[in-house]
Structure 1
């Protein structure tokens, strides 16, 4: 049964190509919003809290601070409205899911930047 589902997903669903990003990275997600007959592009910039799932059911959670309130948004990787993903900064964290960031404020909530040569 699993192989049949995997076959159908591979054949009929087109997977979008996005740059590699992991938890701790700061990314900007551009997605389309439809309001009535009009459509516009909106972006959401924040820190990746986690990536969950695999294949077509994969999702990622982004957290940003809007004033003093933390806002989190979950994006499916294969969402049709998703237009592009930009990686702004690479973060250096030691966990795959950084839920502890929710409890931190101010300078403690900063993530060190990961430096590497390409």
Structure 2
């Protein structure tokens, strides 16, 4: 195995930015760099996190959204240099770490309850 190639990959995948803490059930927007030829643009993907997996440089998370009535899932590596930013829109209240049951649901049954924050109720 070529250890210089492995070191290069680990160097490329080091976190350049700190992302907010989120978990399964949260609604997030991931701004991802898309490179088409010599042009680069930012594409946003907004949906619910259905799982987080792995540790270290191989950690990733899966985001699911409904687009035109069709479920779309996308896997993002945490330490990808193409992730521009991650924004947490809503914090969900779920009892599972992996929300695969969401795949078979549609409409109102696919909704995730929003977690109430103590600081919002105190104001």
Q: Match of 2:105? A: 104
Q: How many residues of Structure 1 are paired with residues of Structure 2 in the alignment?
A: 110
When normalised by structure 2's length, the TM-score is: 0.84
> What is the Cα deviation at residue 17 of structure 1?
1.1
Q: Match of 2:59? A: 58
RMSD: 1.7
Supply the distance in 1 between the matched residues of 2:112 and 2:90 (Cα, whole angstroms). Answer: 10
Supply the distance in 1 between the matched residues of 2:72 and 2:14 (Cα, whole angstroms). Answer: 30
Supply the distance in 2 between the matched residues of 1:14 and 1:77 (Cα, whole angstroms). Answer: 9
When normalised by structure 1's length, the TM-score is: 0.87
Deviation by residue 1:73-116 (Cα, 9 ceiling, x = unmatched): 00000111100000000000000000000011110000000011
Supply the distance in 2 between the matched residues of 1:105 and 1:32 (Cα, whole angstroms). Answer: 29
Q: Which moved more, 1:95-104 or 1:13-22?
A: 13-22
Deviation by residue 1:15-36 (Cα, 9 ceiling, x = unmatched): 2410000000000000111111
Structure 2 counterparts to residues 1-118 of structure 1, below 5 A: 12=11, 14-15=14-15, 16-118=17-119
Supply the distance in 2 between the matched residues of 1:14 and 1:54 (Cα, whole angstroms). Answer: 13
Q: Which runs of 5+ in 2 are unaligned?
A: 1-6
Q: Which runs of 5+ in 1 are unaligned?
A: 1-7
